[in-house]
């Protein structure tokens, strides 16, 4: 047994084991819990950095474990997997710090952090999945691990939101399972392979393969919040802020989008999907979702709901990138996987800070928050501008590559979608920024908790959004430097198209 | 030495039952000792089969057709191991659960049941199988009535009568076989049997009696009240082991005795009834108001999944695919056994803490018992068939085979069952999230909570991640 065969498993276990230990802790052992959390997060980060270097050099890391004859659990680090693993590991570290600060003095923290760690382990498992079976396994575990987080508050609202979430994701999981079993019965074990495995499939099962594509897409579309399967996402907003942040930026919606990317590129193969019209269907679905999500965001007064609909819209850029035939659009979609994560997590951290410090939950209550909480608002501004696609924030880079790729592939309607969506993004984000910076503050905030220290809010709550905002900014500013998300996405596109 | 373990796994609980009857005042100590020794000898049988192949013991040195023989092949060793792990967990749990007075009645009957169970897995002749079946039914019905409440007595009286009817039907089948072929040993009957009215009638009578005992829809009516009203450790034994034993015997006869006379119609009938059981049982579980009734209806559904295996088995030609399918079915049965026992044991804890088991009012109790709630969660994952549980792997393999055969409707049925199961399990789990703050300690009463938790863990993480040894085991004997 060499180390290469153990690295993927070690990365998975570095959050799984602390999670399980945390369940066993008594509620009052704060310090031990924090130590376990941070040890896991830092260890994972170290292992992932190691792996990035290796994969860049063409190293092959694969853990293979036979569950039962013919059913292998495969964890493999290819370039695409590493992109997602790195994102989730980095953001898990930041979110853990935030959550420790956010949940200070609230009940049931052992349960919360236990499931939080398992949730991240499942996400990393999804990222590293080397075949469809493994993907399904971790996709379902993710559902199981996030349910308790959504229900965590225990209010009737939370119970309702969790129920809706569960109904959607269980249904989606069942569809994914059906699609996966059906596909496997047709073509045997489905290993994720660059360039896809169905290019050489016989002609007579073509129709069935196309049907299966849509079954899989429906299953994945639930978590990716493709319209009309997005209904759970705004409801799940009842979860505590760090959970929303993680759900929207890393764990759940990204798992769905990542799955779509995997199925298009590494199962069907982009050429097969293109030749059979599957990409057009995906592109239309993604476009509808992008526009619909933005329109809905426009009408929301609740800040978290507005951000939720914005997620519905933004995550579909990833699917849109996958739906355009050509390496440039692929780069745009893949890089947005990371960029959207950085920007959206910033926005949710900030929304949590407004709610914690000022009791501000609604857009209409945000007048003058800029002066009251300048650092938080600065981070929020960076995230919002990035979402609109203003250079030099990361979101601009994604949109630029998507547009360029669309023009390259001759899909001009995609450019129209991008422009419309950017205008809508501006329409729902700019008024917030205007209120925050240029309107006078009210005499009294809805529910103010003045922080005793020098900062506007506790450090554990302030630094995470500031750090992610800086990352989002630098991912755009230094996009051409080595080891940026953009460089990495180009590497993936190069390997997927193989030319 | 290893050969001796075969008769020991049947006689040890019998000796234990005798010992606790002699000194009823101190039943727990000897009872637990007998439980430990029985489980150890049974597991050593499984280990021996795993490493050396089929084990056989002719008691008193008499061979077939005269003597009593015990035999353990891969199939029986697999069920034996599951049953004894579960039974040991139930015994430890019962040591903490029962008060003095009920313990006095519990232990003798429980050890008698255990002896009959091990005998059923190991017996090789149709009449001895009848004896173990009858003994199992009698001790099970008596245990079920242990609470002494009106409902429990009424339900278990009915259970007793149904059980007698089932074994009677089985015995008639055995008599037919004996009259026609003059032998009772499974191997000898299998050699002698040939298609014809006698064989078909015998098959219908024997399998019919067994599905009555296995509570296959629509013969399930007796199960929910009997299982829901028994004390928790007894419910666990009834739901996890006793009905599984009837399924085991049906599978054994199907594979080893009636293989030459099988036809697709019989298999499809069993499969259709199984499908109806999956849908109806899950639906009733979803509507149940009490936790234990929910668990009991869930057993009806889970037995249904097992019978869906029969049409798939008949349609698959012998070979690797069929061996894998068979192993998947066994994996499904074993995982269900472990998970269902874990669920009932944890439910018993919740019921004891809350003083009732009405699902809608369970809030605080679930939150005060993290270990029991986790046990329900883990068992629930296995019952739904989600990863990483043994049922997930088993269902995946069964459904893949169904799709390869083009029998897609079984996939539809099983997915409906899966979604309904998710709904009823999460209906319970959602009660664990509310706003009553409770001092958080993971384990509150180790002796009762840990057995439930361990069963849940084996069902999910154990069999779901390392199912490979089961295949090694099943290569011994029946499907070699």
Residues of chain B neighbouring A173 (CB-CB closer than 8 A): 386
Is residue A144 within 8 A of residue A90, CB to CB? The reply is: no
Is residue A90 within 8 A of residue A36, CB to CB? The reply is: no
Ramachandran class of A74: left when φ > 0, alpha when ψ lies in -120 to 50, beta otherwise = beta
Integer Cα distance of A442 and B346 in angstroms: 54
Rounded to a whole number of angstroms, the distance from the CA of A103 to the nearest CA of chain B is 14
Rounded to a whole number of angstroms, the distance from the CA of B333 to the nearest CA of chain A is 16
Check CB contact under 8 Å for A178 and B392: no
- Mean pLDDT over A394-402 rounds to 94
pLDDT, one tens digit per residue, over A165-215 is 999 999 999 999 999 999 999 998 999 988 888 877 788 889 999 999 999
pLDDT at B193 over 70: yes
Beta bridge partners of A185: none
- Looking at the partner chain, which of B324, B327, B400 has a beta carbon nearest the beta carbon of A181? B400
Residues of chain B neighbouring A159 (CB-CB closer than 8 A): 430, 433-434
Helix axes A412-438, A374-388, angle to 10 degrees: 160
Give me the pLDDT at residue A4, please.
82
A61: helix, strand or coil? strand
Classify residue A441 by its DSSP letter: P
Residues of chain A neighbouring B403 (CB-CB closer than 8 A): 181-182, 185-186
Integer Cα distance of A331 and A326 in angstroms: 9
Residues of chain B neighbouring A138 (CB-CB closer than 8 A): 387
Residue of B nearest to A168 (CA): B419
Check CB contact under 8 Å for A136 and B393: no
In total, the C-beta contacts within 8 angstroms joining chain A to chain B are 102
ipTM of this complex prediction, to 2 decimal places: 0.93
Check CB contact under 8 Å for A27 and B440: yes
Please provide the average confidence, as pLDDT, over all residues in chain B: 91
- Any idea how long chain A is? 499
* Whole-prediction pTM: 0.95
Check if B415 contacts A (Cβ < 8 Å): yes
CA within 13 Å, CB half, A56: 15
pLDDT at A444 over 80: yes
Is residue A316 within 8 A of residue A276, CB to CB? The reply is: no
Rounded to a whole number of angstroms, the distance from the CA of B434 to the nearest CA of chain A is 4
Greatest Cα-to-Cα distance within chain A, rounded to the nearest angstrom: 72
Residue of A nearest to B417 (CA): A174
Rounded to a whole number of angstroms, the distance from the CA of B368 to the nearest CA of chain A is 11
Rounded to a whole number of angstroms, the distance from the CA of A254 to the nearest CA of chain B is 20
Give me the pLDDT at residue B56, please.
87
What long-range pairs does B408-411 form, CB within 8 A, spacing at least 24?
B410/B271, B410/B275, B410/B308, B410/B311, B410/B312, B411/A178, B411/A181, B411/A182
- Looking at the partner chain, which of B331, B374, B419 has a beta carbon nearest the beta carbon of A170? B419
Check CB contact under 8 Å for B467 and A68: yes
Query: How do B69-72 and B55-58 pair as beta strands?
Result: antiparallel
pLDDT, one tens digit per residue, over B7-66 is 999 999 999 999 999 888 888 889 999 999 999 999 999 999 999 889 888 877 666 666
Domain count within chain B = 1
Q: Where are the domains of chain A?
A: 279-499
Rounded to a whole number of angstroms, the distance from the CA of A182 to the nearest CA of chain B is 6
Give me the pLDDT at residue B326, please.
94
- Looking at the partner chain, which of B403, B426, B471 has a beta carbon nearest the beta carbon of A68? B471
Check CB contact under 8 Å for A141 and B468: no
Q: Is the dihedral of CA B181, B182, B187, B191 positive or negative?
A: negative
Residues of chain A neighbouring B434 (CB-CB closer than 8 A): 154, 159
Interacting residues of A203 by C-beta distance below 8 A, sequence separation 6+: none
Residues of chain B neighbouring A26 (CB-CB closer than 8 A): 440-442
Check CB contact under 8 Å for A174 and B466: no
- Mean pLDDT over B143-159 rounds to 92
Give me the pLDDT at residue B2, please.
46
Give the lowest-confidence range in A119-123, A275-279, A415-419, B3-7: B3-7
Interacting residues of B380 by C-beta distance below 8 A, sequence separation 6+: B339, B343, B425, B426, B428, B429
Integer Cα distance of A377 and B224 in angstroms: 60
pLDDT at A1 over 80: no
Domain span holding position B321: 272-475
Task: Tell me the CA distances in angstroms from B472 to A275, B391, B476, one per residue in order.
Answer: 45, 18, 7
pLDDT, one tens digit per residue, over B112-140 is 999 999 999 999 889 999 999 999 999 99
Check CB contact under 8 Å for A154 and B433: yes
- Looking at the partner chain, which of B386, B403, B434 has a beta carbon nearest the beta carbon of A182? B403
Give me the pLDDT at residue B1, please.
45
Give me the pLDDT at residue B66, please.
67
Check CB contact under 8 Å for A68 and B442: no
Interacting residues of A403 by C-beta distance below 8 A, sequence separation 6+: A332, A414, A415, A418
Mutation for testing the A interface, residue in B372, B422, B460 having most A CBs under 10 Å: B422
Residue of B nearest to A162 (CA): B430
Check CB contact under 8 Å for B396 and A174: no
The fraction of chain B above a pLDDT of 70, given in percent, is: 96
Identify whether B115 is part of a domain.
no
Check CB contact under 8 Å for A178 and B415: yes
Is residue B193 within 8 A of residue B258, CB to CB? The reply is: yes
Query: How do A71-77 and B55-58 pair as beta strands?
Result: unpaired
Interacting residues of B236 by C-beta distance below 8 A, sequence separation 6+: B86, B90, B93, B340, B341, B342, B344, B345, B348
Check if B321 contacts A (Cβ < 8 Å): no
Is residue A418 within 8 A of residue A403, CB to CB? The reply is: yes
pLDDT, one tens digit per residue, over B205-215 is 999 999 999 99
Interacting residues of B155 by C-beta distance below 8 A, sequence separation 6+: B144, B222, B225, B226, B228, B229
CA within 13 Å, CB half, B210: 27
Mutation for testing the A interface, residue in B325, B374, B407, B440 having most A CBs under 10 Å: B440
Rounded to a whole number of angstroms, the distance from the CA of B63 to the nearest CA of chain A is 38
- Mean pLDDT over B78-93 rounds to 97
Integer Cα distance of A482 and A471 in angstroms: 15
- Mean pLDDT over A147-174 rounds to 92
- Any idea how long chain B is? 480
- Looking at the partner chain, which of B381, B400, B426 has a beta carbon nearest the beta carbon of A185? B400
Task: Tell me the CA distances in angstroms from B202 to B161, B170, B195, B261, one per residue in order.
Answer: 22, 8, 11, 11
Check if B89 contacts A (Cβ < 8 Å): no
**b/e burial code for range B173-183 (CB count within 10 A of at least 16 → b):** bbebbeebbeb
Cα first-last separation, chain B: 25
Integer Cα distance of B435 and B289 in angstroms: 22
SS (H, E, C) chain B: CHHHHHHHHHHHHHHHHHHHHHCHHHCHHHHHHHHHHHHHHHHHHHHHHHHHCCEEEEHHHCCCCCCCEEEECHHHHHHHHHHHHHHHHHHHHHHHHCCHHHHHHHHHHHHHHHHHHHHHHHECEHHHHHHHHHHHHHHHHHHHCCCCCHHHHHHHHHHHHHHHHHHHHHHHHHHHHHHHHCCCEHHHHHHHCCCCHHHHHHHHHHHHHHHHHCCCCCCCCCHHHHHHHCCHHHHHHHHHHHHHHHHHHHHHHHHHHCHHHCCHHHHHHHHHHHHHHHHHHHHHHHHCCEHHHHHHHHHHHHHHHHHHHHHHHHHCCCCHHHHHHHHHHHHHHHHHHHHHHHHHHHHHHHHHHHCCCEHHHCHHHHHHCHHHHHHHHHHHHHHHCCCCCHHHHHHHHHHHHHHHHCCHHHHHHHHHHHHHHHHHHHHHHHHHCCCCCCCCCCCCCHHHHHHHHHHHHHHHHHHHHCCHHHHHHHCCCCCC
Residues of chain A neighbouring B381 (CB-CB closer than 8 A): 144
Rounded to a whole number of angstroms, the distance from the CA of B54 to the nearest CA of chain A is 22
Check if B90 contacts A (Cβ < 8 Å): no
pLDDT, one tens digit per residue, over A90-105 is 999 999 999 999 988 8
Q: Which of A37, A255, A17, A45 is nearest to A138 (CA)?
A: A255
Q: Is the dihedral of CA A76, A79, A80, A85 positive or negative?
A: positive
Interacting residues of B127 by C-beta distance below 8 A, sequence separation 6+: B174, B178, B184
- Looking at the partner chain, which of B411, B441, B467 has a beta carbon nearest the beta carbon of A178? B411
Give me the pLDDT at residue A339, please.
94
| CB-neighbour burial class of residue B279 (10 A; exposed 0-12, middle 13-18, buried 19+) | middle
Check if B457 contacts A (Cβ < 8 Å): no
- Looking at the partner chain, which of B415, B426, B439 has a beta carbon nearest the beta carbon of A166? B426
Check CB contact under 8 Å for A185 and B441: no
Check if B327 contacts A (Cβ < 8 Å): yes
Check if B439 contacts A (Cβ < 8 Å): yes
| CB-neighbour burial class of residue A49 (10 A; exposed 0-12, middle 13-18, buried 19+) | middle
Identify whether B150 is part of a domain.
no
Q: Which of A211, A291, A223, A293 is nearest to A257 (CA)?
A: A223
Identify whether B50 is part of a domain.
no
Classify residue A203 by its DSSP letter: G
């Amino acid at each position: 047994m060499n180390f290469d065969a153990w690295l993927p498993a070690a990365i998975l276990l570095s959050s799984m084991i602390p999670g399980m230990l945390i369940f066993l802790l008594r509620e009052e052992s704060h310090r031990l819990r924090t130590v376990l959390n941070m040890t896991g997060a830092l260890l994972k980060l170290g292992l992932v950095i190691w792996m990035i270097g290796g994969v860049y050099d063409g190293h092959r890391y694969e853990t293979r474990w036979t569950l039962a004859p013919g059913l292998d659990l495969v964890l493999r680090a290819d370039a695409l997997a590493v992109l997602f693993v790195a994102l989730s590991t980095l953001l898990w570290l930041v979110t853990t710090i935030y959550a420790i600060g956010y949940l200070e003095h609230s009940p049931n923290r052992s349960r919360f952090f236990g499931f939080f760690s398992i949730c991240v382990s499942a996400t990393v498992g999804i990222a590293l999945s080397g075949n469809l079976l493994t993907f399904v396994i971790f996709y379902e575990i993710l559902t199981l691990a996030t349910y308790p987080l959504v229900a965590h508050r225990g209010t009737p609202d939370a119970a309702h939101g969790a129920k809706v979430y569960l109904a959607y994701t269980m249904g989606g999981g069942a569809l994914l399972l059906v699609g996966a079993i059906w596909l496997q019965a047709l073509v045997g074990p489905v290993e994720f392979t660059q360039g896809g495995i169905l290019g050489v499939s016989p002609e007579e099962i073509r129709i069935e393969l196309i049907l299966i594509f849509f079954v899989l897409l429906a299953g994945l579309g639930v978590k990716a919040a493709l319209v009309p399967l997005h209904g759970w996402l705004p409801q799940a907003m009842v979860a505590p802020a760090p959970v929303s942040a993680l759900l929207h930026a890393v764990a759940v919606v990204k798992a769905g989008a990542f799955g779509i990317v995997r199925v298009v590129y590494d199962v069907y193969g982009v050429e097969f999907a293109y030749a059979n019209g599957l990409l057009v269907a995906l592109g239309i679905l993604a476009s509808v979702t992008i526009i619909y999500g933005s329109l809905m965001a426009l009408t929301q007064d609740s800040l978290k709901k507005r951000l939720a609909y914005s997620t519905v819209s933004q995550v579909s850029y990833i699917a849109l990138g996958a739906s355009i035939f050509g390496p440039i659009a692929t780069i745009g979609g893949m890089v947005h996987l990371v960029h959207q994560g950085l920007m959206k997590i910033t926005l949710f951290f900030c929304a949590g800070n407004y709610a914690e410090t000022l009791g501000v939950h609604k857009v209409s209550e945000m007048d003058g928050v800029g002066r009251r909480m300048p650092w938080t608002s600065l981070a929020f501004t960076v995230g919002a501008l990035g979402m609109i696609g203003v250079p030099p924030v990361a979101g601009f880079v994604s949109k630029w590559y998507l547009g360029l790729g669309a023009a390259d592939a001759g899909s001009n309607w995609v450019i129209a979608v991008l422009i419309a969506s950017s205008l809508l993004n501006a329409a729902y984000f700019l008024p917030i920024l205007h209120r925050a910076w240029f309107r006078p503050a009210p005499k009294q905030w809805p529910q103010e908790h003045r922080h005793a220290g020098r900062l506007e809010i506790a450090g554990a709550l302030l630094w995470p959004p500031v750090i992610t905002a800086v990352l989002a900014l630098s991912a755009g500013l230094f996009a051409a430097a080595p080891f940026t998300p953009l460089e990495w996405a180009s590497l993936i596109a190069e390997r997927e198209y193989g030319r | 030495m290893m050969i001796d373990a075969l008769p020991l796994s049947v006689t040890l609980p019998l000796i234990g039952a005798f010992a606790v009857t002699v000194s009823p005042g101190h039943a727990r100590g000897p009872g637990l000792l007998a439980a430990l020794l029985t489980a150890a000898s049974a597991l050593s049988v499984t280990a021996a089969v795993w490493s050396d192949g089929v084990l056989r013991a002719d008691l008193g040195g008499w061979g077939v057709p005269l003597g009593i023989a015990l035999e353990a092949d891969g199939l029986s060793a697999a069920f034996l191991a599951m049953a004894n792990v579960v039974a040991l967990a139930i015994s430890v749990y019962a040591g903490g659960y029962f008060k003095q007075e009920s313990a006095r009645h519990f232990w003798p009957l429980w050890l008698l049941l255990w002896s009959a169970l091990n005998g059923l897995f190991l017996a090789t002749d149709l009449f001895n199988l009848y004896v173990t079946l009858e003994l199992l039914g009698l001790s099970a019905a008596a245990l079920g009535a242990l609470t002494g409440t009106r409902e429990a007595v009424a339900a278990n009286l009915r259970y007793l009568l149904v059980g007698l009817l089932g074994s009677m039907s089985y015995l008639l089948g055995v008599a037919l076989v004996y009259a026609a072929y003059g032998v009772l040993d499974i191997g000898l009957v299998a050699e002698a049997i040939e298609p014809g009215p006698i064989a078909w009638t015998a098959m219908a009578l024997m399998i019919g009696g067994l599905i009555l005992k296995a509570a296959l829809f629509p013969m399930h009516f007796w199960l929910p009240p009997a299982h829901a009203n028994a004390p928790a450790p007894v419910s666990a034994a009834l739901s996890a082991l006793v009905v599984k034993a009837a399924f085991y015997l049906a599978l054994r006869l199907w594979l080893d005795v009636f293989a030459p006379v099988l036809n697709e119609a019989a298999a499809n009938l069993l499969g259709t009834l199984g499908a109806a059981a999956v849908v109806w049982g899950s639906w009733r579980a979803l509507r149940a108001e009490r936790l234990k009734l929910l668990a009991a209806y869930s057993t009806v559904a889970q037995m249904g999944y097992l019978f869906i295996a029969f049409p798939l088995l008949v349609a698959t030609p012998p070979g690797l695919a069929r061996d894998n399918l068979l192993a998947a079915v066994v994996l499904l049965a074993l995982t269900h056994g472990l998970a269902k026992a874990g669920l009932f044991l944890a439910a018993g804890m919740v019921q004891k803490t809350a003083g009732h088991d009405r699902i809608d009012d369970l809030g605080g109790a679930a939150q005060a018992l993290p270990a029991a709630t986790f046990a329900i969660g883990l068992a629930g994952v296995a019952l739904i068939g989600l990863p990483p549980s043994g049922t997930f792997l088993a269902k995946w393999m069964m459904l893949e085979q169904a799709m390869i055969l083009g029998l897609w409707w079984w996939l539809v049925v099983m997915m409906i069952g899966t979604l309904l199961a998710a709904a009823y399990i999460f209906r319970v789990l959602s009660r664990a999230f509310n706003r009553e703050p409770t001092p958080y300690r993971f384990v509150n009463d180790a002796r009762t909570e840990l057995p439930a938790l361990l069963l849940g863990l084996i069902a999910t993480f154990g069999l779901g991640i390392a199912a490979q040894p089961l295949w090694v085991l099943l290569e011994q004997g029946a499907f070699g």
